Amino acid sequence: LQISEPNEFDIMLVIPVARLQLDESDDTGAYYYLTFKRNPKEKYLLKYLDEDGKLSAFKMLQALRAIIKQEVKNIKNVEVTVKRKRAGSPAITLQIKNPPAEISVDIILTLEVQQSWPPSTRDGLKIEQWLGRKVRGDFRNKSLYLVAKQNKKEKVLRGNTWRLSFSHIEKAMLNNHGSSKTCCESDGPKCCRKGCLKLLKYLLEQLKMKYTKELEKICSYHVKTAFFHSCVMWPKDTDWHLGDLDYCFQKYLGYFLDCLQKSHLPHFFIPQYNLLSLEDKASSDFLSREINYQLNNRFPIFQG
């Protein structure tokens, strides 16, 4: 869903793990400490345990970074560099210089665990009215993904927390986004859901370029989460007629503005986790003002 230039790519490097014990590291329900249950099959991962026996995201990222740096030296025909580590970022970023454009690739260390989702997800993914109860059940039977992501709320930043990731489910919802199975298929009726998401992503992208500092706390995941909530609030394909793009966009934008004003945007899969916490209120208010300005002036930012 990259809009302007497709120059940023995410690659999940998935490591399958049979079973893990998940212990919440705070009250969000999104961040966990991981420990192995008895005699894990994955003996090679034991060297990444910290002194408390927790699987250290920091140690694993460090090792992966070293491997990638080594491998990059062997690439001859393209200039590839590993970007400097960004504090708290779960990604290892490769900068690939190649005319006509430079691209960056984020490699995200991900564990795939074949076990049921933790209790914090129980009341999330409210898609029954939109995609149906069966689809929800199918999604919840899929593996659990955990990405190496530092939890800023940790008292001592040891870098051994992991965050739940639902990107595989989000991708599936975007690909099959209609309440009818044929929505947006080659011979089926077309809707404007993806069009709305792209517009708001583009709007945020442009504003972030212009006001990088003020909007550093806001990211495209906020826009995507608000989009999924909107799909649930307006579940029918007729709510998103292709011809009603501007009306639908304003409806979705209205909901997003409401979230910004209240500083409340629940994570789509973990409802207790608020993505717009009060400490980021300045960013939310700033974005709210900017979007209202765009809205009242017929979106000058789209005129380019």
Per-residue pLDDT tens digits for 227-240: 999 999 999 999 99
The reported pLDDT for the residue numbered 88 is 65
Output the six-digit token pair for 122.
């129980």
Token look-up 């454009």 returns 101
Which structural domains are found in the chain, ordered by start?
1-176 (3.30.460.90), 181-303 (1.10.1410.40)
Cα distance between residue 146 and residue 33, in whole Å: 10
Note if the pTM is more than 0.85.
yes
Q: Rounded CA gap, 242 and 189, in Å? A: 9
pLDDT at 155: 59
Give residue 149's identity as a one-letter amino acid code.
K
Q: Are 110 and 12 in contact (CB under 8 A)?
A: yes
Which segments of the chain have a pLDDT < 50? Answer: 1
> In the prediction, which pLDDT does 87 show?
66
pLDDT, position 83: 84
| HEC readout, the chain | CCCCCCCEEEEEEEEEECCEEEEECCCCCCEEEEEECCCCCCHHHHHHECCCCCECHHHHHHHHHHHHHHHHCCCCCCEEEECCCCCCCCEEEEEEEECCEEEEEEEEEEEEECCCCCHHHCCCCCCCCCCCHHHHHHHHCCCEEEEECCCCCCCCCCCCCEEEECHHHHHHHHHCCCCCCCCCCCCCCCECHHHHHHHHHHHHHHHHHHCCCCCCCCCHHHHHHHHHHHHHHCCCHHHHEHHHHHHHHHHHHHHHHHHHHHCCCECCCCCCCECCCHHHHHHHHHHHHHHHHHHHCCCHHHHC
Residue-wise pLDDT for 177-200, tens only, equals 999 989 999 888 999 999 999 999
User: Is residue 66 within 8 Å of 79, Cβ to Cβ?
Assistant: no
